[in-house]
């Protein structure tokens, strides 16, 4: 049995200065028209430029070794930067996946050639990555992956498809999980290998999956006899389940797992106004207390990552609770607003709340899937508690 441990932890006092630095940077970007902060329906004016500006400012690859362009700062410093980016709704999509998980995975398991070739470009905000894990018939059960990689003279030939691949339509590279051997009766985790895949290779087709909001976030990525070189294998052949599990710790424990819809809460408070009834005050208080608790847990888990640990179970717990909170936030906001949500919009606060509520209600269902379904996360947590 793995003991679940979430020790109390706080951000260091020095993070206050860093937080102000990031706020000043974001304000300059907004003043230059690169993006419009805190406006959910306004697309970024120039996300590519924003990524490069973040690279120049040192906000990408902060924790990475200096030899690859990083600064060797702590994960808690990166945590502060991420919080501020999320709070301003900055357009981080061009670099966020690479910064959060692809880069650390390359550092740990990539060849020296791959690291030297790719990490400086990520740090500069010039390279985007996507993650190829889920498939049509396996969902979040990574061990059921069927997309195959077969050894050939030039390297490995990839065939199959990945589904729900965020940002594949503008990514330069994918880190994809492929089956290189059959699972064994003793170990169903055997036979999976990760590859670094240039998205411009012949045989790769990216099919958009449109969100019900009209946005293009997800994709199906089809591989038809795609050949990658031998040295694009990441880590060990047939044993990538350990790598994929470690990678998901970065994905599941950060502030993005509970701050994606956070802006609906202050919008709800402004919408309700100062004259709150007992029901509204209790609802706001409960949502706020839950958010505070999840944030403290997230900081604790990232403190463990900063100490060199891989808190897989604890990270899954943060993701699970963050998912539940964000989904309940949308429904609770609609309930607390009551008839006010349908009244004629007269104030700016009312209009903003309606836009945020509509967006949250449409996008809340996807939170259950991205980063691991609720059922899979609960299985991981149950194993950690010795219940299965």
CATH of the domain at 49: 1.10.540.10
Q: Are residues 256 and 372 in the same domain?
A: yes
Last residue of a domain, one of 78, 112, 128: 128
> Considering the domain boundaries, does residue 2 fall inside one?
no
CB neighbour list of residue 148: distance below 8 Å, 6 or more residues apart: 158, 159, 160, 178, 179, 180
What CA–CA distances, in Å, run from 91 to 36, 199, 317?
9, 22, 27
Q: Are residues 20 and 83 in the same domain?
A: yes
- How many domains are there within the chain? 3
Query: By the 8 A CB rule, do 358 and 214 touch?
Result: no
For residue 344, the model assigns a pLDDT of 47
> Considering the domain boundaries, does residue 158 fall inside one?
yes
Q: Are residues 280 and 230 in the same domain?
A: no
Q: Are residues 251 and 212 in the same domain?
A: no
HEC letters along 164-199: CCCCCCCCCEEEEEEECCCCCCCCCCCCEEEEEEEC
pTM score of the predicted model: 0.87
Q: Are residues 255 and 379 in the same domain?
A: yes
Alpha-carbon distance 178 to 158, whole Å? 8
> Considering the domain boundaries, does residue 3 fall inside one?
no
For residue 106, the model assigns a pLDDT of 95
- Give the H or E element holding residue 375: helix 374-384
> Considering the domain boundaries, does residue 313 fall inside one?
yes
Q: Are residues 136 and 213 in the same domain?
A: yes
Structure tokens of 157? 């030939």
> Considering the domain boundaries, does residue 120 fall inside one?
yes
Q: Are residues 195 and 168 in the same domain?
A: yes
Q: Are strands 129-132 and 173-179 parallel, antiparallel or unpaired?
A: parallel
Q: Are residues 138 and 124 in the same domain?
A: no
For residue 69, the model assigns a pLDDT of 95
> Considering the domain boundaries, does residue 4 fall inside one?
no
Q: Over the chain (388 residues), what is each successive 10-residue block's mean pLDDT?
A: 75 90 96 83 76 97 96 92 94 94 93 96 97 81 84 97 93 96 81 96 95 82 98 92 71 84 92 88 96 93 85 86 91 84 62 88 77 76 80
Alpha-carbon distance 383 to 388, whole Å? 5
Backbone angles phi, psi at 59, to 5 degrees: -90, 0
For residue 313, the model assigns a pLDDT of 85
Domain assignment of residue 352, given as a range: 244-384
CA 51, distance to chain mean position in Å, is 16
Q: Are residues 205 and 309 in the same domain?
A: no
For residue 124, the model assigns a pLDDT of 98
For residue 385, the model assigns a pLDDT of 80
For residue 342, the model assigns a pLDDT of 53
Quote the radius of gyration of the chain (alpha carbons, Å).
Answer: 21
Angle among Cα 277, 281, 282 to the nearest 5 degrees reads 115
Backbone angles phi, psi at 275, to 5 degrees: -90, 80
Q: Are residues 68 and 122 in the same domain?
A: yes
3-class DSSP state of 158:
strand
> Considering the domain boundaries, does residue 49 fall inside one?
yes
The enclosing domain of 197 has a CATH number of: 2.40.110.10
Q: Are residues 262 and 376 in the same domain?
A: yes
For residue 254, the model assigns a pLDDT of 85
- Classify each residue of 285-312 as buried b or exposed e, where b means 16 or more C-beta atoms within 10 Å of its C-beta: eebeebbeebbebbbbbbbbbbeeebbb
Last residue of a domain, one of 102, 128, 154: 128
Q: Are residues 276 and 156 in the same domain?
A: no
CB neighbour list of residue 285: distance below 8 Å, 6 or more residues apart: none
> Considering the domain boundaries, does residue 5 fall inside one?
no
Alpha-carbon distance 235 to 242, whole Å? 10
Alpha-carbon distance 241 to 265, whole Å? 37
Alpha-carbon distance 41 to 54, whole Å? 22
For residue 315, the model assigns a pLDDT of 85
The enclosing domain of 290 has a CATH number of: 1.20.140.10
- Give the H or E element holding residue 247: helix 241-252
| Strand blocks (E) in the chain | 129-132, 148-152, 155-162, 173-179, 192-198, 204-210, 216-229, 233-234
Last residue of a domain, one of 238, 271, 298: 238
- Give the H or E element holding residue 20: helix 15-31
């Amino acid at each position: 049995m793995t003991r679940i441990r979430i020790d109390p932890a706080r951000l260091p006092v020095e993070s206050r200065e860093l937080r102000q630095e990031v706020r000043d940077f974001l304000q300059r970007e907004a003043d230059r028209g690169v993006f419009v902060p805190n406006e959910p329906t306004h697309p970024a004016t120039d996300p590519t430029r924003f990524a490069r500006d973040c690279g120049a400012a040192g906000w990408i690859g902060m924790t990475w070794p200096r030899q690859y362009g990083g600064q060797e700062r702590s994960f808690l410093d990166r945590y502060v930067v991420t919080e501020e980016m999320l709070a301003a709704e900055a357009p981080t999509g061009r670099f966020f996946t690479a910064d959060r998980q692809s880069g650390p995975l390359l550092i740990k398991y990539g060849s020296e050639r791959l690291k030297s070739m790719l990490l400086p470009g990520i740090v500069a905000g010039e390279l985007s990555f996507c993650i190829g894990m889920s498939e049509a018939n396996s969902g979040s059960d990574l061990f059921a992956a069927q997309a195959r990689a077969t050894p050939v003279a030039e390297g490995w030939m990839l065939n199959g498809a990945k589904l729900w691949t965020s940002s594949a339509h503008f990514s330069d590279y994918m880190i994809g999980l492929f089956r290189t051997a059959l699972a064994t009766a003793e170990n169903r985790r055997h036979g999976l290998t990760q590859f670094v895949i240039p998205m411009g290779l012949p045989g790769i087709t990216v099919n958009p999956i449109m969100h019900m909001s009209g946005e293009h976030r997800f994709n199906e990525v089809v591989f038809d006899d795609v050949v990658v070189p031998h040295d694009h294998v990441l880590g060990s052949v047939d044993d990538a389940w350990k790598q994929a599990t470690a990678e998901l710790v970065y994905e599941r424990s950060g502030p993005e797992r509970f701050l994606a819809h956070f802006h609906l809460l202050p919008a709800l408070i402004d919408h309700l106004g100062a004259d709150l009834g007992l029901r509204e005050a209790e609802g706001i208080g409960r949502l706020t207390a839950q958010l505070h608790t999840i944030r403290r847990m997230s900081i604790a888990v990232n403190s463990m990552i900063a100490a060199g640990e891989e808190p897989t179970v604890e990270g899954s717990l943060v993701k699970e609770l963050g998912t539940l909170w964000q989904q309940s936030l949308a429904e609770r906001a609609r309930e607390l607003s009551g008839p006010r949500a349908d009244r004629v919009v007269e104030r700016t606060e009312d209009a903003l709340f309606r836009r945020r509520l509509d967006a949250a209600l449409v996008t809340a269902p996807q939170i259950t899937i991205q980063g691991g379904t609720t059922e899979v996360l609960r299985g991981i947590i149950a194993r950690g508690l010795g219940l299965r």
